[in-house]
């Protein structure tokens, strides 16, 4: 995690950084405004809503992991509690007929996240590193176990459901149709994104980086590393609470699965695969993984396995995540040297596809033979029908996998060298 946070603009351009960043935010807002016009079906609207929620959650999480260097295994506590408190707030609003619009309900989530962030953060941010990670794990298990006992508040297995249309309607928006909920989520997402981005630009945001990179030096400069960690933790909890409240509004229910270890793991996956070292990384991760979750689960029953393997591969080979991979090519693109990488990448593509194809084939054949054995053992690939009970598909899969792995292993170092050399040359041209 050595990449800097976004916003470094190239030196050879004359656009002022402020103008550029305003432009980027305007473009992002416009895209969010127009997305439902392009993808207007009900299914894609549902996905878009989920993406918006997850973008806030992953960015909030990355205030810890990426910006302050704190690995938390239990951030769903603030997300889930935000959802539950928002749900109860909605029940009170509709029950007492309070004049509170639905758009203000996420504030309840933010406040919840903040308060619990203060409570749990006071205990856990005294430590960093592995101890912090362990405490976060302990807290999430503690809260999840308590939620099962306190059925009065958490609603037990059924959760707490409510009717989102019972709040005060402003401008005739009752938030019955999903599209109105989308704009609510998009609005909160946009505001949260900007807020979190500008937090990284404040002196406090810079000190977070210092605490991540070298806590000892940060302490010597005169800052309390524990204090910085604590503030980052509370803020992160507040934004996670907003995401949780929006999730509760979106589904009209807050349930126990929102605050468990699994939800915490998902947001970790999103932030890390997207790239924890870059501000936009978690956005990429949240969008990509939400997409994968819904589309892969339609295609194959073993989608979670692919998911896990992808995560392991990212940890092993691309520790900077997808955003890290993209920023690596930034200077190369600016120096106009991108075409030079076409040949090495094309060379890597073929064995890479073989490897992925062979691996996927083995997983799918196994899946047919075990889980779906009673239904059918024939894997339907459109043009090709493969019976998992025969030997031929298996042999083909193993050959594909082995050939891909072997070639990639042979070519890998050469390709990495070519990329590094091109990057060095590009840096020399652009930077000098």
Partner 1 sequence: MLELVVFSTLNGLQYGVLLFLLASGLTLIFSMMGVLNFAHASFYMLGAYLGYQITRTIGYWPGLLIAPLAVGLLGAGVERFCLRLVHRHGHVAELLFTFGLAFVIEEVVVVLWGRVPLDYRVPALLDFPAFTLWDTTYPAYKLFMLVISVAIFVALLLLLTRTRVGLIIQASLTHPNMVAMLGHNVPRIFMMVFGAGAALAGLAGAIAGPALVTQPSMAALLGPILFVVVVFGGLGSLAGAFIASLIIGLVQTFAIAVNVSLNDVFLPLGISLPAPAVLGDLWNATLAQLGPVIPYLLLVLMLVFRPTGLMGTRET
Q: Which residues bind partner 1 (CB under 8 A)?
A: 69, 71, 73, 123-124, 126-127, 129-131, 133-135, 137-139, 141-142, 145-146, 148-153, 261, 265, 268, 272, 302, 304-305, 307-309, 311-312, 315-316, 319, 363, 366-367, 370-371
Q: Which is nearer to partner 1, 71 or 194 (CB)?
A: 71
3-state secondary structure the chain: CCCCCCCCCCCCCCCCHHHHHHHHHHHHHHHHHHHHHHCCCHHHHHHHHHHHHHHHHHHHHHHHHCCCCCCCCCCHHHHHHHHHHHHHHHHHHHHHCCCCEHHHHHHHHHHHHHHHHHHHHHHHCCCCHHHHHHHHHHHHHHHHHHHHHCHHHHCCCCCEECCHHHCECECCECCCCHHHHHHHHHHHHHHHHHHHHHHHHCHHHHHHHHHHHCHHHHHHHCCCHHHHHHHHHHHHHHHHHHHHHHHHHHHCEECHHHHCHHHHHHHHHHHHHHCCCCCCHHHHHHHHHHHHHHHHHHHCCCHHHHHHHHHHHHHHHCCCHHHHHHHHCHHHHHCCCHHHHHHHHHHHHHHHHHHHHHHHHHHHHHHHHHCCCCCCCEEECCCCEEECCCCHHHHHHHHHHHHHHHHHHHHHHHHHHHHHHHHHHHHHHHHC
Nearer to partner 1, 35 or 115 (CB): 115
CB of 403 to partner 1, least distance (A): 19
- Minimum CB separation of residue 245 from partner 1 in Å reads 18
Q: Write down the least CB distance from residue 147 to partner 1, Å.
A: 10
Min separation Cβ 246 and partner 1, Å: 23
Quick one: 142 or 333, whose CB is closer to partner 1? 142
To the nearest whole angstrom, how small is the minimum distance from the Cβ of residue 15 to partner 1? 35
Q: In the bound complex, what is the minimum distance in angstroms from residue 329's beta carbon to partner 1?
A: 20
Residue whose CB is less far from partner 1, 309 or 427: 309
**Residue 335 CB, nearest approach to partner 1 (Å):** 28
Would you say 129 or 336 has its CB closer to partner 1? 129
């Amino acid at each position: 995690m050595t990449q800097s946070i976004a916003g470094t603009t190239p030196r050879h351009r004359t656009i002022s950084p402020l103008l550029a960043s305003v432009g980027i935010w305007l473009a992002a807002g416009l895209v969010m405004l127009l997305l439902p016009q392009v993808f207007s079906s009900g299914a894609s609207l549902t996905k878009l809503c989920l993406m918006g929620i997850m973008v806030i959650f992953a960015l909030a999480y990355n205030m810890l992991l990426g910006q302050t260097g704190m690995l938390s295994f239990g951030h769903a506590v603030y997300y889930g509690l935000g959802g539950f408190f928002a749900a109860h707030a909605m029940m009170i609003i509709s029950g007492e007929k309070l004049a509170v619009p639905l758009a203000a309900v996420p504030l309840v989530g933010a406040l919840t996240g903040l308060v619990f962030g203060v409570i749990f953060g006071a205990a856990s941010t005294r430590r960093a590193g592995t101890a912090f990670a362990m405490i976060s794990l302990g807290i999430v298990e503690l809260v999840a176990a308590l939620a099962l006992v306190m059925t009065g508040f958490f609603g037990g297995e059924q959760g707490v459901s409510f009717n989102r249309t019972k709040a005060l309607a402003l401008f005739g928006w009752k938030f019955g149709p999903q599209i109105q909920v989308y704009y609510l989520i998009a609005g909160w997402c946009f505001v949260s994104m900007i807020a979190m981005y500008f937090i990284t630009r404040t002196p406090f945001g810079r000190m977070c980086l210092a605490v991540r990179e070298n806590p000892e030096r940060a302490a010597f400069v005169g800052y309390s590393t524990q204090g910085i960690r604590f503030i980052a933790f509370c803020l992160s909890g507040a934004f996670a609470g907003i995401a949780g409240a929006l999730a509760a509004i979106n589904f009209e229910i807050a349930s126990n699965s929102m605050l468990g270890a699994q939800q915490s793991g998902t947001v970790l996956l999103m932030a890390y695969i997207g790239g924890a070292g870059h501000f936009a990384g978690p956005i990429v991760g949240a969008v990509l993984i939400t997409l994968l979750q819904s589309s892969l689960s339609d295609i194959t029953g073993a989608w979670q396995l692919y998911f896990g393997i992808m995560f392991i591969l990212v940890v092993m080979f691309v520790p900077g995540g997808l955003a890290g991979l993209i920023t690596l090519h930034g200077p190369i693109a600016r120096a106009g040297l991108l075409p030079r990488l076409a040949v090495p990448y094309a060379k890597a593509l073929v064995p890479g596809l073989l490897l992925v194809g062979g691996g996927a084939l083995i997983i799918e054949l196994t899946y047919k033979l075990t889980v779906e054995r009673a239904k059918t053992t024939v894997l339907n690939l459109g043009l090709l029908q493969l019976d998992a009970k025969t030997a031929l598909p298996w042999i083909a899969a193993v050959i594909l996998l082995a050939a891909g792995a072997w070639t990639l292993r042979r070519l890998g170092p050469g390709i990495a060298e070519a990329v590094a050399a091109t990057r060095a040359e590009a840096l020399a041209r652009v930077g000098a």
